[in-house]
Structure 1
Amino acid sequence: MDIRGCFYILAAASMWGLIGVFTKFLLAEDISAMEIAFWRANFGWLCFLAHAKYRRIVRVSYRDLPVLLSFGFVCVTMFYVSYQLAIRDVGMALAAVLLYTAPAWVAFLSRVILKEPLGAIKLTCVVMTIAGVACISLGPKLLGGSTIPLDLFGLAAGLTAGLTYALYYIFGKKWLHRYSTPTIFTYALPFGSLILLPFVDFAPKSSTAWLLLVGIGMICSYGAFSAYYAGLRRMEATNAAVIATFEPVLAAVLAFVLFGEQFGIFGYAGSALIMAALLMVVIDQKTRRNKECPNSDR
């Protein structure tokens, strides 16, 4: 395994793990979740645009524009907003765990859209993920012990974030594999933020708020995705997916240290089920790939 690839993936996971920290501080500055998503998309876009222009990879085929713009709506507008809302309503630790229901969504959507088989392991992982979400959502009612408020809207927002995050894979696999990351986000991010614009109430901002907004765009959008795909060029996607599970772990630790967030026993059990399901999916993918290409790791 390429150590540089591991470093890049860990760096990406760490930067994604900071989304909740930026969001919490920005909410404390009276910046709404919608506005945070708007500026995150725009500051990230400026970085991707500069990158694409530098590499001269801005142009795309006109026939691919509808797909790129659809990607912008689903994976920028819906994903960015739902994740910011989830952090606002259920905290950064639980939002990060719910985000990682994405592999279960991928398994289901791959069967429906890509016609990939849904084997026993994938089906088991879907069931484990559902059970994990049930533990998280019902646990406080059954036993308590959690400092994280159960908010049904926030729970739905977190699951929506997981679904729209999973659609990154579907879009990439089916339609966008011909383009590099800077090219895709050069078109997706401004369109996604444009759809958000009518719903944003712009608040007065301090210099601290502006620095946080620039930071979440440059670090958690541009920096994280750039590092992640740099890592993917050096290692298998399955290994990258396992290492990326560092994100919810880091988010949970930071949420506890900085904001005092902690799960009850059912919350920890549900989180463990979701993380175990994720690991089962990626290990199963690696096993299948090694059977098809025995020398793929060499």
Structure 2
Amino acid sequence: MQTSGYLFVLCAAALWALIGPLSKQVIALGVAPLEAAFWRSAIGWCFFAVHALATGAWRLERKDAPAIASFGIIGISTLFGAYILSISMVGAALASVLLYTAPAWVAVLAWLTLGEQMHAHKLIALVMTLAGVACVSLGPAIVSGQGLGAVNLPGILLGLLSGFSYATYYIFGKRYLGRYATPTLFLYALPVGCLGLLPFVTFTPKSGDAWLFLALLAATTTYGAYSVYYAGLRRLSATRTAIVATLEPVLAAGLAYVWWDERFDLMGYAGSALILAAVLCTILGSSRKAGSEAAAG
């Protein structure tokens, strides 16, 4: 059971790592970033709709509709839009690292909305994350002597926004993923996400290749990734699941290097290591605390 759980989550991390390469390919074929995000949501919804209807997992309690709609705007519109714009501005490798500032946002949001305590290990991890982001995003310009004027600030801010919106998956998941199947949640959240993106999208004629890569983007990084991730979550503890999922930015950076020769300098690699170390510090610190409380009980 645990072996299959690890394989599911590893598969999800690998599928999410394809967001950067596939998005860059779609953009290179003439599709604007926000239109690509729209079609990633819309085509992904088609897969989830078929799944939900085929399994009978389409019922949603009316009282949960506002929360699911909010998730559609924050977790779908904002995440999909901000992340693909960040990729187009700063590259897939840096965008994936900025996305994984999410654990720091989770610590703050859980403290504010769920009443979770801000323990020392969380504060340390938060500082490590911010230091890592500074190294990755500001370090190259400073080291090269170009100054902060060379920093692509909009791209970095959009990457951080994608990390924040990704963190809300934890907050919504805490309340709703235990009550609804994955297809049910995305059956209703994805259309709202599409509507949130719609005012910012300009539709253009697309080639057959563009449609093919859009379909691949939706099938792999939306339907496939979310489906196998939650399949893994049912078989593993949240801690183990989160640890395996942090392989995504490493895989994304590797793919960006292989496909486009995107690479970090020494400061970039140091910053990436700090961010990943902060993620592990947060996860393992929480795990040790839970273990101590269980032993005391």
TM-score tier (shorter): over 0.9
Secondary structure of the residue aligned to 1:113 is helix
Q: Supply the distance in 2 between the matched residues of 1:139 and 1:18 (Cα, whole angstroms).
A: 26
Q: Contact conserved, 2:141 with 2:151, CA < 8 A, in 1?
A: no
What do residues 97-128 of structure 1 show as CA deviations (whole Å, max 9, x unaligned)? 11110000000111111111000000100011
Distance 1:182 1:292, change over 3 A: farther
What do residues 257-294 of structure 1 show as CA deviations (whole Å, max 9, x unaligned)? 11111111111111111000001111122223333446
Q: Supply the distance in 2 between the matched residues of 1:7 and 1:171 (Cα, whole angstroms).
A: 24
Which residue identity is paired with 1:260?
D
Which residue identity is paired with 1:48?
F
What do residues 179-220 of structure 1 show as CA deviations (whole Å, max 9, x unaligned)? 121111000001110121122111211111001001111110
2:33 matched to 1:33? Answer: yes
Instruction: Indicate the residue corresponding to 2:90 in structure 1.
Output: 90
Give the gaps of 5 or more residues in structure 1: none
**Any residues of structure 2 matched to 1:122-271 within 5 Å, and which?**
122-144=122-144, 150-175=151-176, 177-271=178-272
Q: Supply the distance in 2 between the matched residues of 1:238 and 1:86 (Cα, whole angstroms).
A: 28
Which residue identity is paired with 1:223?
G
What is the CA-CA distance between 1:175 and the residue it aligns to?
4.8
Distance 1:276 1:141, change over 3 A: same
2:45 matched to 1:45? Answer: yes
- Root-mean-square deviation over aligned CA pairs: 1.6
**Mean CA deviation greater in 17-26 or 46-55:** 46-55
Give TM-score, length-normalised by structure 2. Answer: 0.95
Q: Supply the distance in 2 between the matched residues of 1:24 and 1:199 (Cα, whole angstroms).
A: 19
Q: Which runs of 4+ in 1 moved over 6 A?
A: none
Which residue identity is paired with 1:106?
V
Q: Contact conserved, 1:144 with 1:264, CA < 8 A, in 2?
A: no
Q: Supply the distance in 2 between the matched residues of 1:193 and 1:42 (Cα, whole angstroms).
A: 6
Quote the sequence identity (%).
49
**Any residues of structure 2 matched to 1:3-82 within 5 Å, and which?**
3-82=3-82
Give TM-score, length-normalised by structure 1. Answer: 0.94
What do residues 61-85 of structure 1 show as CA deviations (whole Å, max 9, x unaligned)? 1111111111100000001000001
**Any residues of structure 2 matched to 1:109-120 within 5 Å, and which?**
109-120=109-120
Which residue identity is paired with 1:59?
R
Secondary structure of the residue aligned to 1:67 is helix
Instruction: Indicate the residue corresponding to 2:278 in structure 1.
Output: 277
Q: How many residues matched?
A: 292
Q: Supply the distance in 2 between the matched residues of 1:54 and 1:287 (Cα, whole angstroms).
A: 42
Secondary structure of the residue aligned to 2:60 is coil
Secondary structure of the residue aligned to 2:114 is coil
Q: Contact conserved, 1:103 with 1:281, CA < 8 A, in 2?
A: yes
**Mean CA deviation greater in 136-145 or 266-275:** 136-145
Which residue identity is paired with 1:16?
W
What do residues 115-148 of structure 1 show as CA deviations (whole Å, max 9, x unaligned)? 1100000010001111111112221222139xxx
Which residue identity is paired with 1:259?
W
Give the gaps of 5 or more residues in structure 2: none
